């Protein structure tokens, strides 16, 4: 992976940062796009400690100009773009659909759906121009087998899976593979926030994983690396990393 570059949204914490570090250790230069600018310098230091170059950008993934400009700056600085991970996401309160608000709906669609759409819209041409490569999107097992009180989150993550499959069909002829990783409960920040607000539902979520624990964010990161670098005959696949949760 020497002389390759990797662009990740939501990349300065949680699963995004874990994945950036896995790619850096594999030899890639890293571009991080994240909402919370205050975490960028720490993330940059961790990447540079692995001996790789790191660019950081701050903004909302639903901001088309910010995503477009960040991808363009990555191309200029690294001379190309080879791998992308549309990782940024958000959830909503664990309540019945009748108690969710229009604002909840807008946030799910803006971050999870529009953010993934914009990432692919600008990463795909960049990767194509760089000679080909791969994109991985981040969905959830909730987009395959939803649970109660997660209506909008399930809808948004199902949309990400659907977009991934369509993009894979459209991009195959151009040497760009597009897959999606579907984690179960994982040690990223989103699950920790959910567990703090809903300890009983979090315990129930953990109990649904036959391996008896939630996943480590590094385990999801390894799956993303596999899909991007190693699974060279795989595209349009929803890769489940869930400790067997969907078997229940």
Among all residues, which ones are annotated catalytic? 153
Residues whose CB falls within 8 Å of the CB of residue 211, separated by 6 or more in sequence, listed in order: 243, 244
What does the buried/exposed string (b/e) look like for 16-54 if buried means 16 or more CB atoms within 10 Å of the residue's CB? bbbbbbbbbebebbbbbbbbeeebbeebbebbeebebeb
Query: CA 220 to CA 61: how far, in whole Å?
Result: 21
Query: CA 11 to CA 203: how far, in whole Å?
Result: 27
**Residue written as tokens 């926030």?**
193
Query: For helices 189-197 and 199-207, what crossing angle results, to 10°?
Result: 120
Is the Cβ–Cβ distance between 208 and 180 less than 8 Å?
Answer: no
Is the Cβ–Cβ distance between 48 and 222 less than 8 Å?
Answer: no
Is the Cβ–Cβ distance between 31 and 16 less than 8 Å?
Answer: no
């Amino acid at each position: 992976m020497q002389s390759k570059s990797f662009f990740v949204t939501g990349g300065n914490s949680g699963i995004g940062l874990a994945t950036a570090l896995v790619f850096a250790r594999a030899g890639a230069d890293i571009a991080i796009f994240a909402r919370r600018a205050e975490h960028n310098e720490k993330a940059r230091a961790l990447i540079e400690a692995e001996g790789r170059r790191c660019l950081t950008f701050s903004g909302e993934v639903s901001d088309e100009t910010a995503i477009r400009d960040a991808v363009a700056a990555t191309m200029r600085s690294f001379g190309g773009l080879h791998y992308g991970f549309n990782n940024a996401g958000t959830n909503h309160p664990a309540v019945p659909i009748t108690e969710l608000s229009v604002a909840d709906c807008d946030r799910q669609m803006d971050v999870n759906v529009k953010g993934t759409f914009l990432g692919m819209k600008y990463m795909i041409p960049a990767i194509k121009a760089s000679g080909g490569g791969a994109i991985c999107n981040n969905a959830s097992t909730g987009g395959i087998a939803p649970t109660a009180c997660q209506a909008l989150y399930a809808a948004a993550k199902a949309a990400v899976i659907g977009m991934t499959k369509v993009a894979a069909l459209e991009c195959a002829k151009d040497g760009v593979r597009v897959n999606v990783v579907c984690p179960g409960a994982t040690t990223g920040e989103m699950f920790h926030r959910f567990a703090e607000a809903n300890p009983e539902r979090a315990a129930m979520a953990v109990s649904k994983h036959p391996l008896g624990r939630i996943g480590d964010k590094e385990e999801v990161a390894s799956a993303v690396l596999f899909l991007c670098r190693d699974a060279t005959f795989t595209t349009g696949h929803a890769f489940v990393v869930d400790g067997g949760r969907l078997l229940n």
